Structure 1
Amino acid sequence: MRRVIAGVVMGGVVAGAAVLLASAYFARQVVLPTSRRVEDLPIRRVFRDSNDSLLIELPASARTTVPGRYSIWFANGAGHACIGEIVATDDGAGPAPAGTVTRLVERVDSGDLTSAKAGIWSGYVYPTPDPLGLPFHDVVIPVKNGSAPAWQFSPNATPKGDSAMWAIHIHGLGGTKPGALRGVPVANRLGYTSLVVSFRNDGEAPASADGRYHLGQSEWHDVEAAVSYAMDHGASRIVLFGWSLGGTIALQLTLKSQFRDRIAGLVLDAPVVDWTSTLMANARSSKLPRWSADLGLQILKSPRLRWITGLETPLNLKALDWVGRTDELRLPVLVIHSEKDRSTPFAVSRRFVDRHPDLATMVTFPSVEHTQEWNVDPEGWDSAVFEWLRNRVASV
């Protein structure tokens, strides 16, 4: 009997330790920056057709068979190609072990695609500003601990022609500036000057003291510095384009920034408007038990358990819940989201919009990946944003 009891106790201790480790790992991974991605998409072949068009054959999947424009990173990130329309599909009914899809290669921006064996499927159609064909120049934004690089796009060829209305484009968690380039063309059409920014811990801007993501709780300071730069260089009003975490940052600025009265509106693509709901949804999709995920959130919020996450200050997840802060929104917001988004729940965006019927507008696109609403229908995305900004945000 003593041996049985001892075994039960030991089993409970081991199980408890496993739960604690899983929760701690979950909490730490949420805030730990990482830029390493696995090239997990096999490239079956790259070839030219009878019209000399460059084509790529890939395994057919929910991602690779969605219409639109995408990209593939290969050669450990040194290579990049823009992938366009679907040319042919094979349902796998023949001798091949799986179906394939053949798509047009619109551009090869870098690297030798013909020799690539695998890559990463991405929404980053523009790896640099060059493929946009719009006049731009590099700038640096003074921020805490140094300078953050940015790209400034002008409606005219010289900075003297800059519009008084500026758009500031904010990328998402784990991303970099190229991810926000997709919003630049429509802003340019409206005559806005665009500033595509970096912020702490994204690998381009200076790191924070703790080297951890704060889910918008502190990153907004770096973007406010970009707003200050815009004001110093002729901006009168600002439109914020936020992608995913960039949406959180944009919302933070509407309340906390000293320039909040100059912000005219927000365009948010797959925004995180409630981090608690978003993190719990990701935990469920990762098969992490709810109580273990709950413990992970408590670790993120605890001043005494910062040694687990490495955070300099604990996260205030309640302050990052914009669904609950219904009465604090003062600006028109366009929310663009896909119902199939597995990273940032569409239902949370829906609740956010429903609670602000006078200010918030929802537009949906049938993408299957996070922040790829533009990719599935670039023209439709641009048109929706253009019309909304023209109707809801008056130009200066």
Structure 2
Amino acid sequence: MGAVSAAAITFLGAAYFARRVVVPTTTRREDLSITQVFEGEDGSLRIELPATPLTRAPGRYSFWFGNGKGHACIGAVVDEDTNDGTVTRLVERVDAGDLHAARAGIWSGYAFSKAEQLGLPFEEVKIKVDNGVAPAWKFVPTTGGPAASTWAIHAHGMGGKRAGALRGVPVASSLGLTSLVVSFRNDGDAPPSNDSRYSLGQNEWLDLEAAIQFALDHGAKRLVLFGWSLGGSMALRAANLSAHSDRIIGLVLVAPVLDWAETLTSNGRASGLPEAVARVGLKMLGAKAGRWVTGLEQPLDLLTLDWLARSRDLNTPTLILHGIEDKSTPVTASERFAELRPDLVQLVRFEVPGHSLEWNADPDKWESSVTRFLKSLPAD
């Protein structure tokens, strides 16, 4: 009886794990409390929060509140009370909602919630994808020159929206690149897939391929793919499988997931899930019989998404920007990838806690690294 119960518990835990990986989340719990919002002596708006590694980190961040309807850009730390365990930061702007009325929110790396906040010329465009059209922002470069026919396509991460990829646009624009900031299946903006499930880049890259086709149809000659987290997995897959892979001259990957099996298992361990249960969950994701649990239209082939095992398949110059304290997607995979392919992969490390917050903590280092990399790519 005990063995049966243990097996049942393992199965249920694995099923929960597998579904959690692929079922898109529409809401997040606002788990960061607000101590107070007030005006400083200089008239600036300030917010006091519990002091954590994230809220104490240097740089600019997003604070979402009001069930995701409110957004503020949070700037520098101006005070810290070690006795009360709080930190006070500048509020650079409030884009939506009443921050004074908020009691809690979500800390994130977006910094920009709308395209117009970049102060760059842009237009809304529609890209034909499976099941309909996906909205995108097209940014016209502020300078011309030889790079004018090079386009940068920016793909956000899992559970996010295209605004999360806006951080990469200013540096691309300053170098004369046209930028296309895209949405993709199951992100709430683009049409959902037939099964309404994430496939960890296995199928999402097809929407990136549609964006590539759009860019080529509208004058692009060369392409650089910017991928954030899951977007990095998509960019690698596109560079490998795209019908236009010869036009892709570079990849800029921000905290990319290079080995989904290890990343998911590591995340499971961090949340207290026994590794054996996580491994069973991974088998469910890859098995046809697991479809009734996961809802996936087709099983996931995690081996094809393992870029450490497939490092020899990389043919495109690649820059990786990764925080050394990223517990969600550990930097060790990026370090290994760079060791395996020193001929094509450059890795720049950042001292910042959290995931995909490299730009936020040190935008100067981030943009100078990207600038050097892009300038090193062939002009034609």
TM-score range, shorter chain: over 0.9
2:86 to 100, 103, 114: 100
The amino acid across from 2:112 in the alignment is Y
Q: Secondary structure at the match of 2:352?
A: coil
1:227-376 equivalent positions in 2, closer than 5 A: 227-376=212-361
The one-letter amino acid of 1:197's match is V
1:80 maps to 2:71: yes
Q: Is the 8 A contact 1:155 1:162 kept in 2?
A: no
Separation in 2 of the partners of 1:375 and 1:297? 32
Pairing of 1:190-209 with structure 2 (within 5 A): 190-209=175-194
Q: Which residue of 1 aligns with 2:25?
A: 34
CA contact (8 A) 1:146 1:206 kept: yes
Within the alignment, does 1:225 sit opposite 2:217 as a pair? no
Give the Cα separation in 1 of the matches to 2:69 and 2:247: 39
Deviations 1:268-317 (A, max 9, x none): 00001111111111111111111111111111111122111000100000
Letter of the structure 2 residue corresponding to residue 129 of structure 1? A
One-letter amino acid matched to 2:132: G
Listed as ranges, the matches of 1:102-121 within 5 Å are: 102-121=88-107
- SS of corresponding position for 1:172: coil
What is the DSSP-based 3-state SS (H/G/I as helix, E as strand, rest coil) of the residue aligned with 1:163? helix
Matched residue of 2:37: which SS?
strand
| Counterpart pick for 1:145 among 112, 126, 131 | 131
Provide the residue aligned with 1:123 in structure 2: 109
Measure, in 2, the Cα distance between the counterparts of 1:149 and 1:239. Answer: 19
8 A Cα contact 1:162 1:234, kept in partner: no
> Please, which of 44, 53, 62 is the counterpart of residue 62 of structure 1?
53
Within 2, Cα distance between the matches of 1:319 and 1:236?
28
What is the rounded CA distance, in whole Å, between the counterparts of 1:243 and 1:326 in structure 2? 19
Give the percent of matched residue pairs that are identical in Structure 1 and Structure 2.
55
SS for the counterpart of 2:353 is: coil
Residues 156-206 of structure 1: per-residue CA shift (max 9 Å, x gap): 49x9x9920000000011111011000000000110000000111111110
CA distance in 1, matches of 2:99, 2:379: 43
Give the AA of the match of 1:113.
Answer: L
What is the CA distance between 1:35 and its match in structure 2? 2.0
Partner of 1:91: 82
Residues 147 and 175, structure 2, Cα contact 8 Å, conserved in 1: no
Aligned residues: 379
**Matched position secondary structure for 1:120:** strand
The answer to whether the 8 Å contact 1:277/1:348 transfers is: no
TM-score (norm 1): 0.94
Instruction: Specify the alignment match of 1:395 in structure 2.
Output: 379
Q: Determine whether 1:176 maps to 2:169.
A: no
Partners of 1:362 and 1:327 in 2: how far apart?
A: 17
8 Å CA contact 2:73–2:111 kept in 1: the answer is yes
Q: Secondary structure at the match of 1:24?
A: helix
SS in 2 for 1:308: helix
Q: Secondary structure at the match of 2:80?
A: strand
- Secondary structure of the 2:351 match is coil
Superposition TM-score, scaled by structure 2 size:
0.98
Unaligned runs of 5+ in 1: 1-9, 93-97
- Please say if residues 156 and 162 of structure 1, whose CA atoms lie closer than 8 Å, have aligned partners that are also in contact: no
Distance 1:101 1:394 in 2: 46
Inter-partner Cα distance in structure 2 for 1:370 and 1:112: 27
Instruction: Identify the match of residue 22 of structure 1 among 10, 13, 16.
Output: 13
Give, in whole Å, the separation in 2 of the partners of 1:251 and 1:313: 21
- Counterpart-to-counterpart distance in 2, 1:345 and 1:302: 26
1:101 aligned partner, one-letter code: V
State the 1:78 CA deviation.
Answer: 1.1
Partner of 1:6: none
1:385 to 355, 366, 370: 370
The answer to whether the 8 Å contact 1:177/1:198 transfers is yes
Counterpart amino acid of 2:60? R
1:132 & 1:14 partners in 2: Cα distance? 56
> Secondary structure, in 3 states, of the residue corresponding to 1:366?
strand
